[in-house]
């Protein structure tokens, strides 16, 4: 019996249909076409970065004794991208870089070539010794165990890599102190074999210029170095730069100041400018009636009729939680505050009274010169604000 079913037809492939182009109607009623992506952009201003480097150099300039300005680029340049940051600083003349681990040093060497010195602050470990040798990394020697390890490893090297020796003068974190310092002092042959090219320490309270511990640490450092070979000296981090020439010695090690963060308790004295900002798109605009809530936990209750907007960035991108009403963003030079708890991917902002009605696709700016107040409101360090920035951002490295 013949088959009476209709012949089989192959289904057409599924294709994404293009949304219709909105008709122009003119004025504020004209439909707004969103940008193609809802992802936020992390914009790093490389001109500001190198300007900050030059500003620190000027602070350290003095007649008869030049001061080397190095760059601390650990933690992927404080979360901003060590590849781009270090290359820009190299182009500005920086030849000394500091990282935390040998693996950071290896990656950095691939980015900036063979010439610059790369110091590894956490010192050598047995497993990482091959990285130090292969990529010409200089360990910061912090204790006798590291000193013995580095000394033994040097026996297998034809060209003996140099190092830095770190003394603890009061932060009680890393560095030679107490009986270990006495042991190193007494073993002059070991120190000679280590052949350091820098002696260094680290300030604990440098942001507070009036703290007596700063002067005490400097005096202790000056006393310790008398027992060791006359090589270049380094004491100051970003905040230490602002303590004056007595704290500069031969090399300073700025980190946060390079990235435009406030380094001291009196930021008005500082000559750096912001390097980073987030640009997040508005995804949706809502009208909120008085008494209605917004966000998880309904923690925000509208005190009046309001316009709110949801932007595509949240704590998964590194935004710390802050109380309702905290200013964290800006649109058309107007400050915007939170209206509801920041969630994983989204943040609700109060748009009431903006100069022009907010629309999806418009871009809200976060961080920049608002980074420090945001950090203060969140109860985190400005350093943390940068290092928490997530991997979901589009990243743009620009010049002015």
| Range in 34-38, 208-212, 330-334, 352-356 the model is least confident about | 34-38
Q: Map tokens 């009061």 to a residue.
A: 170
Q: How far apart are CA 36 and CA 19, in angstroms?
A: 12
Q: What is the pLDDT of residue 172?
A: 97
Q: Map tokens 């601390």 to a residue.
A: 72
For the chain, give every residue range classified as CATH 2.40.37.10.
33-43+275-398
Tokens, residue 287: 């009208």
- Split at pLDDT 50, 70, 90, the class of 22 is very low
- Residue 319: exposed, middle, or buried by beta-carbon count in 10 A (0-12, 13-18, 19+)? buried
Q: Map tokens 């008869």 to a residue.
A: 64
Q: How far apart are CA 135 and CA 104, in angstroms?
A: 11
CATH number of 33-43+275-398: 2.40.37.10
Q: For residue 74, indicate whether it is catalytic.
A: yes
Question: Looking at the predicted structure, is the pLDDT value of residue 126 above 80?
Answer: yes
In order of 64, 116, 244, 285, the CA distances from 252 in angstroms are 17, 16, 11, 48
Q: How far apart are CA 251 and CA 59, in angstroms?
A: 12
Question: Looking at the predicted structure, is the pLDDT value of residue 26 above 60?
Answer: no
**Mean pLDDT across 206-221:** 98
For the chain, give every residue range classified as CATH 3.20.20.10.
67-259
- Split at pLDDT 50, 70, 90, the class of 38 is confident
Q: What is the pLDDT of residue 3?
A: 47
CATH number of 67-259: 3.20.20.10
Contact 52, 72 (CB under 8 A): no
Mean pLDDT (the chain, rounded)? 91
Q: How far apart are CA 129 and CA 67, in angstroms?
A: 30
Question: How many residues would you count in the chain?
Answer: 400
Q: What is the pLDDT of residue 366?
A: 98
Question: Looking at the predicted structure, is the pLDDT value of residue 20 above 90?
Answer: no
- Split at pLDDT 50, 70, 90, the class of 53 is very high
Q: How far apart are CA 350 and CA 264, in angstroms?
A: 32
Question: Looking at the predicted structure, is the pLDDT value of residue 21 above 50?
Answer: no
Residues 6+ apart with CB under 8 A from 168: 174, 175, 176, 177, 201
Which ranges constitute the DSSP H helices of the chain?
46-60, 74-78, 82-91, 102-112, 129-134, 144-154, 178-186, 188-194, 212-224, 238-241, 371-378, 382-387
Contact 68, 117 (CB under 8 A): no
Summarised one tens digit per residue, pLDDT across range 171-185 is 999 999 999 999 999
Q: What is the pLDDT of residue 31?
A: 42
- Split at pLDDT 50, 70, 90, the class of 365 is very high
Q: What is the pLDDT of residue 63?
A: 60
Residues 6+ apart with CB under 8 A from 145: none
Residues 6+ apart with CB under 8 A from 134: 106
User: Among positive and negative, which fits the CA dihedral 122, 125, 128, 133?
Assistant: positive
Q: What is the pLDDT of residue 330?
A: 97
Q: What is the pLDDT of residue 13?
A: 39
Q: What is the pLDDT of residue 189?
A: 97
- Split at pLDDT 50, 70, 90, the class of 400 is confident
| Catalytic annotation, pick one of 35, 148, 290, 296 | 296
- The whole-angstrom distance between residue 125's C-alpha and the CA centroid of its chain comes to 25
Q: For residue 296, indicate whether it is catalytic.
A: yes
Contact 330, 379 (CB under 8 A): no
| Catalytic annotation, pick one of 74, 78, 119, 138 | 74
Summarised one tens digit per residue, pLDDT across range 127-170 is 999 999 999 999 999 999 999 999 999 988 888 889 999 999 99
């Amino acid at each position: 019996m013949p088959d009476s079913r209709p012949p089989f037809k192959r289904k057409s492939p599924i294709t994404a249909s293009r949304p219709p182009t909105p008709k122009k109607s003119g004025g504020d009623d004209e439909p707004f076409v969103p940008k193609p992506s809802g992802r936020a952009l992390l914009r790093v201003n490389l001109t500001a970065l190198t300007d900050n480097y030059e500003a620190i150099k000027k602070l350290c300039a003095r007649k008869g004794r030049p001061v080397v300005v190095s760059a601390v680029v650990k933690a992927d340049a404080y979360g901003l991208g060590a590849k781009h940051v270090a290359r820009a600083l190299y182009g500005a003349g920086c030849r000394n870089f500091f990282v935390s681990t040998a693996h950071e040093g290896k990656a950095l060497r691939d980015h900036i070539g063979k010439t610059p010195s790369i110091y590894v602050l956490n010192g050598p470990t047995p497993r990482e010794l091959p990285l130090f040798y292969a990529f010409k990394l200089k360990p910061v020697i912090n204790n006798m165990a590291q000193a013995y390890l580095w000394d033994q490893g040097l026996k297998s090297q034809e060209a003996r890599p140099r190092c830095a020796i770190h003394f603890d003068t009061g932060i009680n974190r890393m560095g030679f102190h107490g009986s270990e310092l006495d042991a190193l002092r007494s073993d002059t042959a070991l120190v000679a074999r280590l052949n350091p090219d820098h002696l260094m320490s680290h300030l604990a309270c440098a942001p507070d210029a009036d703290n007596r511990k700063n002067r005490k640490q400097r005096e202790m450092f000056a006393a310790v170095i008398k027992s060791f070979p006359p090589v270049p000296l380094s004491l100051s981090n970003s905040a230490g730069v602002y303590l004056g020439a007595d704290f500069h010695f031969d090399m300073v090690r700025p980190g946060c100041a390079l990235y435009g963060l406030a380094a001291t308790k009196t930021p008005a004295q500082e000559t750096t400018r912001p390097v980073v900002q987030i640009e997040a798109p508005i995804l949706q605009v809502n009208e909120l009636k008085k008494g209605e809530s917004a966000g998880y936990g309904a923690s925000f209750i509208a005190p009046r009729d309001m316009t709110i907007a949801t932007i595509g960035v949240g704590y998964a991108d590194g935004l710390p939680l802050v109380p309702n009403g905290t200013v964290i963003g800006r649109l058309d030079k107007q400050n915007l505050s939170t209206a509801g708890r920041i969630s994983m991917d989204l943040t609700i902002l109060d748009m009431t009274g903006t100069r022009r009605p907010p629309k999806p696709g418009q871009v809200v700016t976060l961080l920049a010169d608002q980074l420090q107040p945001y950090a203060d409101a969140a109860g985190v360090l400005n350093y943390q604000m940068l290092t928490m920035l997530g991997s979901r951002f589009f990243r743009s490295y620009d010049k002015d």
